[in-house]
């Protein structure tokens, strides 16, 4: 068995460490550079400040969900969460899952004084603007909203 020179062994060691770091980072950070939360979601979160109805109006603008029972149920969840958990403090992006060039799932945690609310938005690019299409889900239990591949990474 041939023993490699010290310099070559050091080079291979550095390469191995770099590969390990790259693999670890790529699986740790779900949001890739350049990906951002669609404006329709951000605008609703900024407007929210204690007014679930105003946020829902923004999120449902141009959406096929507008006026549906699903939309009414989800607005009710927002109101109940605010009553139970207190004032809305802000949000954290959990992940953006790009499904195609024109659709993506956005997972967000809304932070309230006494606990989080987990959110899932299916965003669809309609005439150069994102709309919420098909899925709008809020729940205090992350397992009801966040898929296992994200929960247990």
Q: pLDDT (tens digit, 9 = 90+) per residue, 27-40?
A: 333 444 446 999 99
Task: Please indicate, yes or no, if residue 97 is contained in any of the structural domains.
Answer: yes
For residue 32, CA distances in Å to 26, 36, 76 come to: 9, 9, 33
Given a cut of 50, is residue 24 above it in pLDDT? no
Residue 51 falls inside a structural domain = yes
Place of tokens 């309230």: 112
| Total of domains in the chain | 1
Q: What local confidence, expressed as pLDDT, does residue 8 receive?
A: 60
Q: How far is it, in rounded angstroms, from Cα 53 to Cα 61?
A: 12
Which pLDDT band, with edges at 50, 70 and 90, does 49 fall under?
A: confident
Q: How far is CA 71 from CA 34, 57, 58, 125, in A?
A: 30, 10, 12, 20
Q: What's the confidence (pLDDT) of residue 151?
A: 85
- Asked if the structure places residue 80 within a domain, the reply is yes
Give me the domain span that covers residue 52. 39-151
DSSP classification of residue 90? E
Is the pLDDT confidence value at 16 over 50?
no
Token pair 């195609």: residue: 100
Q: Tokens for 57? A: 């109006």
Q: For 57-82, what is the mean pLDDT?
A: 92
If you average pLDDT over every residue of the chain, what do you get?
Answer: 83
Q: Looking at residue 144, what is its pLDDT?
A: 94
CATH (domain of 100): 3.10.450
Asked if residue 58 belongs to a domain, the reply is: yes
Whether residue 26 lies inside any domain: the answer is no
pLDDT bin (cut points 50, 70, 90) of residue 132 is very high
* Domain-embedded: residue 17: no
Q: What is the pLDDT of residue 1?
A: 59
């Amino acid at each position: 068995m041939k023993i490699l020179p010290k310099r070559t062994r050091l080079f291979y060691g550095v390469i191995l460490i770099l590969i390990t770091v790259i693999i670890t980072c790529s699986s740790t950070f779900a949001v890739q550079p350049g990906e951002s939360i669609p404006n329709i979601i951000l605008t609703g979160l900024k407007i929210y400040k204690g007014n679930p109805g105003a946020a829902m109006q923004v999120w449902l603008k141009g959406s096929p969900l507008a006026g549906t029972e699903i939309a009414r149920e989800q607005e009710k969840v927002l109101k109940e969460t605010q009553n139970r958990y207190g004032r809305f403090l802000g949000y954290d992006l959990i992940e953006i899952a790009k499904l195609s060039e024109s659709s993506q799932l956005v997972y967000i945690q809304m932070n309230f004084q006494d606990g989080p609310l987990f959110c899932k938005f299916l965003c669809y690019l309609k005439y150069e603007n994102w709309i919420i299409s098909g899925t709008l889900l809020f729940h205090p239990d992350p397992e009801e909203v966040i898929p296992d591949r994200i929960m247990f990474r």
